[in-house]
Structure 1
Amino acid sequence: MQKKRQFGHRARLALTPAQVRLVANQAHAARAMWNLLHDWWTMLPKDKRTLAAADAAIRQARKDIDWLAVLPAQASQSVLKAYFQAWKNCWEGRADAPNFKTRFRTVLSVDIPQGRDLQITRVHRRWGLVNIPKVGRVRFRWTRDLPVGRNANADNRITGARLVKDALGWHVSLRVQTLEAAPNPHAGPEVGIDAGVTIPLALSDGNHQDHGRQPRLPGGTADRDKWLNSDEKAKLLRLERRAAHRKSFRKPGRKASNRLKRIYDQIASLRARAKRRASDWQHQTTTELARTYGVIVVEKLDIPNMVRSARGTVERPGKNVAQKSGLNRAIAQEAWGRTVTMLTYKTARHGGTLHKVPAPNTSLRCSACGFITPGSRKDQATFACKNPLCGWSGNADHNAARNVLYLYRMGHALIPAAGRAVVRRTRGVKPAAAR
């Protein structure tokens, strides 16, 4: 059986200085188009807010304002479509109301909705060429096979793209649609996974996944720049000190100087490089897990609540605020939610399944005897059961992973239904490894 699959592919663009200016002008025009459309929409009476009227207003604006015409007509229509979708998400309760896009806090992007405009060709093993409307042919890094040329048809093709700028430069995000054979059910074993700080991904069978980047700073807090090497950390420290020194000379209410902005850009580049390395490790690790295991079980975590500050209020100040803030940074760096998202679609692609179980007491319960004894969880890394009839000890994350798998086998898997989670009772036998 054939199954349609839609995914995105991101590649770095090799733009010339002239092309950088053209693409940046288009991105600023798209941002300005959004802001003008937002002002027009909010000032009109509700009975006159229609899609046809907004389309006519955009067409007239591109005729009257010269610098808006640098944005291709189809990209302007994409801005209109995205704006209406933002209001739809707001009305349905999925997001807040759309607002004004500022110049320095908005990611520069340009949408290319039609895949036929891209005209992608492969030059050789490392490079390809993509056509950007009103810019021309641009080279990009070729890192995977794409349905172009003779391999492209109605079922296997590139449906569109988006140009996005980050701290490392301009990238093209291609929207790819393919027709693939539905995967056979995965015959691999079951595994429970506990996301932690000491061990990033602890597995119930002991095959833990560690990225080997857990250096500690004085005081025991996790290193926030663990994905940078020693030279990059030293460079980042010099740049931050230089930025703080130059910022001390800026008068209140004055804009930052161009020299200070360049320092901020260099800092952002190092941060983006670290983020890309972390994402690459997550992709490789989750792919290997999806290929190895047929059933993957994780906890249903309320991450926003877990990383909430312990500062408290003036009347009721919090305790151990510095330690809690360090733990919050470590949790945010591991990006547990992104790991679960990757596992969700990768297990489905390889024929496996991903299940979620309730999170309470998985780190406090002993996976050997099944009792919750006060004082068993010593710290973030060690679990030693205080039950005099048990006495099992080991890594705390490994103990939690065993409990996660046990909950699934006992039928406590959660299934989202009508916006909430319900418990599905499954038949299972308590395994010897989890007793």
Structure 2
Amino acid sequence: MVKRQFGHRARLVLSPAAVRAVDDQAHAARTMWNLLHAWWQMMPREKRTLARADAAIRQARQDIGFLAVLPAQAAQAVLKAYFAAWKNCWEGRADTPKFKGRLRTVMSVDIPQGRDLNITRVHRRWGMVNIPKVGRVRFRWTGDLPVGKYANEGNRITGARLIRDVLGWHIAFRVQTLQAPPAPHQGPEVGIDVGITVPIALSDGETHEHGAWLTGKEEAKLLHLEQRAAQRKQHRKPGEPTSRRLHHTYDLIAGLRAKAKRRALDWQHRTTTAIARTYGTVVVEALTITNMVKSARGTADEPGKNVGQKTGLNRSISGEAWGRTVTMLTYKTARLGGTLHKVPAPGTSQRCSACGFTTPGNRESQAVFVCKNPDCGWSGNADHNAARNVLHLYRMGLPLIPAAGRAVVRRAKRVKPATAR
């Protein structure tokens, strides 16, 4: 049996009083982090220990009244997360921990003990969960959870985290299960080419496309809200705080964008699940997306060209979220017994999949590929041609990820800051 850990996120249905209670806990958790950060900077290096920090937050919970709304275990989770952040910084996996501002920080509260949740299913679509110092609340039941008679030592919920976005409060369960290793997937091999006009093109001729994430009325409403926010921002004097009306407009804009993101996530999950179930070996390009979306503005001495067009292209690339698609395919193929491989990306869109002739002139347009080799002359869809080239590179033996199906992330080593310890 193999231990598998994953998360499951569900929407909470809270009363106004419960919303205020959870908001207070989230603000207390953020304040606890900031107090720890200030304590860390003031303390000498030799006194920055976990025991001293634990004593400091216990004293703070006694001296500062509003910190008592945060459960003791949630406060301990903040302490462990802060020390883990410094450890990630020392090992080169993240930057140094910073102060958490009120407006720029995601509101969240950790529930480290799964036994405190006491989850029950009351309806086909609803469940009940216990939130410390809040009480019993409903959540949307969208997936099977190991609760009740299905819970045991190997299959259980180890904890949860409350997270707030522009659409309300959600709960993310941490689930641990024991499963038998999947049998090797006997499906065929497939190459994938990602794009903007055609989001996903497969080497066997299939395509996966989507429409606009917002309806016509929603797009018109979003444009109207953005224009209203720009007008209200013009009337604000330098240094003057943002008005409540402008904040309300920003919240409406964020709500529409969050709705579009949810629809995009749903499409990506459905599409990647269908691909992982159908094909045993999935081959994608090793794209460096951060370099692809760099600005073309240039410098004052050497200004860039076609800056507006490049900005629109960067926005379209970021909207398709190619990296998230590859991440979903990576863990879904491994879960179903398949494998995912990456191959070098240069030349896949300019190479003829029939004869191998490579030249920039082969790409007649965004959608049409015509081979310029006099002895070939093959023509077809450009996206399917690139997908076939991706699969051909894998068959030649050029994968960048081993057959285990897990990506290896390499990060540059960073020098430890002088004041880190």
Q: Please state which band the TM-score falls in when normalised by the shorter chain.
A: over 0.9
Cα distance in 1 for residues equivalent to 2:260 and 2:358: 39
Post-superposition offset of 1:418: 8.2
Residue 234 of structure 2 is matched in structure 1 by 248
| Residue 333 (str. 1) matches residue 333 (str. 2) | no
Q: TM-score under structure 1 normalisation? A: 0.91
| Aligned residue identity for 2:114 | G
Aligned match for 2:216, one of 230, 233, 250? 230
| Aligned residue identity for 1:33 | M
Residue 360 of structure 1 is matched in structure 2 by 346
Contact 1:297/1:408, CA 8 A, preserved across alignment: yes
Residue 100 of structure 1 is matched in structure 2 by 99
Q: Secondary structure at the match of 1:8?
A: strand
Cα distance in 1 for residues equivalent to 2:180 and 2:312: 46
Q: 1:418 to 1:162 in 2, by over 3 A?
A: closer
Contact 1:8/1:174, CA 8 A, preserved across alignment: yes
Post-superposition offset of 1:419: 5.9
Contact 1:373/1:387, CA 8 A, preserved across alignment: no
Residue 184 of structure 2 is matched in structure 1 by 185
Post-superposition offset of 1:371: 1.3
Cα distance in 2 for residues equivalent to 1:377 and 1:44: 62
| Aligned residue identity for 1:386 | K
Residue 331 of structure 2 is matched in structure 1 by 345
Residue 305 of structure 2 is matched in structure 1 by 319
Q: Secondary structure at the match of 1:354?
A: strand
Q: 1:343 to 1:231 in 2, by over 3 A?
A: same
CA displacement 1:159-190 (0-9 Å, x = unmatched): 00000000100000001111122211000000
**1:261-340 alignment runs, 5 A limit:** 261-340=247-326
Contact 2:340/2:401, CA 8 A, preserved across alignment: no
Post-superposition offset of 1:420: 5.6
Residue 121 of structure 2 is matched in structure 1 by 122
List structure 1 runs of 4+ shifted beyond 3 angstroms.
415-421
CA displacement 1:342-379 (0-9 Å, x = unmatched): 00110011110001111111111111110112311234
Post-superposition offset of 1:263: 1.2
Q: 1:167 to 1:42 in 2, by over 3 A?
A: same
Post-superposition offset of 1:30: 0.4
Cα distance in 2 for residues equivalent to 1:163 and 1:373: 53
Cα distance in 2 for residues equivalent to 1:376 and 1:168: 47
Residue 176 of structure 1 is matched in structure 2 by 175
Q: Secondary structure at the match of 1:9?
A: strand
Aligned match for 2:363, one of 362, 374, 377? 377
Cα distance in 1 for residues equivalent to 2:297 and 2:369: 28
Q: Secondary structure at the match of 2:129?
A: strand
Residue 411 of structure 1 is matched in structure 2 by 397
| Residue 239 (str. 1) matches residue 236 (str. 2) | no
Post-superposition offset of 1:149: 0.9
- Structure 1 portions without partners, runs of 5+: 214-225, 422-435
Post-superposition offset of 1:392: 1.7
Contact 2:73/2:111, CA 8 A, preserved across alignment: yes
Contact 1:3/1:181, CA 8 A, preserved across alignment: yes
Cα distance in 1 for residues equivalent to 2:409 and 2:227: 47
Cα distance in 1 for residues equivalent to 2:296 and 2:202: 30
Cα distance in 2 for residues equivalent to 1:250 and 1:310: 31
Q: Which has the higher contact order (CA 8 A, sep 6+)?
A: 2
- Structure 2 portions without partners, runs of 5+: 412-421
Cα distance in 2 for residues equivalent to 1:419 and 1:36: 33
Contact 1:374/1:386, CA 8 A, preserved across alignment: no
Cα distance in 2 for residues equivalent to 1:374 and 1:60: 68
Contact 1:158/1:174, CA 8 A, preserved across alignment: yes
Residue 27 of structure 1 is matched in structure 2 by 26
Cα distance in 1 for residues equivalent to 2:409 and 2:248: 46
CA displacement 1:177-204 (0-9 Å, x = unmatched): 1112221100000000011111111100
| Aligned residue identity for 1:310 | A
| Aligned residue identity for 2:21 | L
Q: Secondary structure at the match of 2:298?
A: coil
Cα distance in 1 for residues equivalent to 2:112 and 2:401: 35
Post-superposition offset of 1:277: 0.3
Query: RMSD over aligned Cα, in angstroms?
Result: 1.4
Residue 135 of structure 2 is matched in structure 1 by 136
**1:133-172 alignment runs, 5 A limit:** 133-172=132-171
CA displacement 1:91-147 (0-9 Å, x = unmatched): 111111010001000000000000000001111111110100000101000111111
Contact 1:307/1:331, CA 8 A, preserved across alignment: yes
Cα distance in 1 for residues equivalent to 2:344 and 2:77: 41
Q: Secondary structure at the match of 1:7?
A: strand
Post-superposition offset of 1:66: 0.5
Cα distance in 1 for residues equivalent to 2:408 and 2:320: 30
Cα distance in 2 for residues equivalent to 1:372 and 1:420: 31
Q: Secondary structure at the match of 1:94?
A: coil
Post-superposition offset of 1:76: 0.5
| Aligned residue identity for 1:311 | R
Post-superposition offset of 1:305: 0.4
Post-superposition offset of 1:248: 2.0
